[in-house]
Amino acid sequence: MRLLVLFCVLLPLSAVQAQELLSVDDPRWPSDYDRYFRKYTKRYFGPAFDWRWFKAQAIAESNLDPRSSSHAGAIGLMQILPATYREIRERNPHFKRIRDPEWNIAAGIYYDRLLYRKWREPLPDRDRLLLAFASYNAGYVRIRRIFRRLSAQLEHTPFWNDLEPLVPGQTRHYVRKIVGLVEGKPRGPTRRLRGVEKFLALNQPS
């Protein structure tokens, strides 16, 4: 029994373990790419923004496996479609190969920024971020359509908690996993992400 326990402890992070809701800070998640998450979060969202949100997104996308690919053709840590990457490279010609972890992360965070800026409603920053993640997963048009329908029914601008039951199940699970990795469990819609609005107002995407 002791040998079995020791063997389990020494095993690297497996696919089964990856399904557990480990904190993004858990040492079982590799830190190899943290410098890129830090660098491109600072570049596209500002120095006050918590870069761990995007590491958590990469965990939800690929379990931090740069070799990962989906049946739909999405590639790398941030699971970016080649067509989307080509569009991003048109604005960022210095980006290199999509399979390079640095540029895959850079493209994913850049795309998150574009999606975040599309949600201009008077919402807390955290809700806008979660709407951006939902749009990343299910498509902006699809999430926007649900948002508009709900807006017509409510007397206030919908928060993410209002919208969450109406989005596709896969997207709901995706956003919950990101939130769980960063915060431990979902919280209310009022948490502020300091500095992001001022930074984005002064730094238009290229």
Instruction: Report how far Cα 141 is from the mean position of its chain's Cα atoms.
Output: 17
Query: How far apart, in whole angstroms, are the C-alpha atoms of residue 77 and residue 172?
Result: 20
**Partners of residue 80 on adjacent β-strands:** 75
Closest CA to 175 of 100, 88, 112: 112
Query: How far apart, in whole angstroms, are the C-alpha atoms of residue 62 and residue 141?
Result: 24
Domain extent listing, the chain: 33-118, 122-191
Fold of 33-118: Lysozyme (1.10.530)
Is 142's pLDDT higher than 60? yes
pLDDT in tens, 54-105: 999 999 999 999 999 999 999 999 999 999 999 999 999 999 999 999 999 9
Mean pLDDT of 145-150: 96
User: Structure pTM?
Assistant: 0.82
Q: What's residue 92's pLDDT? A: 96
Show Cβ contacts of residue 137 under 8 Å, excluding neighbours closer than 6 positions: 170, 171, 174, 175
Q: In terms of DSSP H, where are the helices of 46-168? A: 52-62, 82-91, 101-118, 125-138, 140-153, 160-163
Higher pLDDT, 15 or 94: 94
Percent of the chain with pLDDT strictly greater than 70: 79
What is the 3-class SS of 143-202, one letter each residue? HHHHHHHHHHHCCCCCCHHHHHHHCCHHHHHHHHHHHHHHHCCCCCCCCCCCCHHHHHHH
Give the pLDDT band of residue 35 (cuts 50, 70, 90). very high
Are 44 and 109 in contact by the 8 Å Cβ rule? The answer is: yes
Give the pLDDT band of residue 5 (cuts 50, 70, 90). very low
Give the pLDDT band of residue 184 (cuts 50, 70, 90). confident
Are 81 and 165 in contact by the 8 Å Cβ rule? The answer is: no
Is 205's pLDDT higher than 90? no
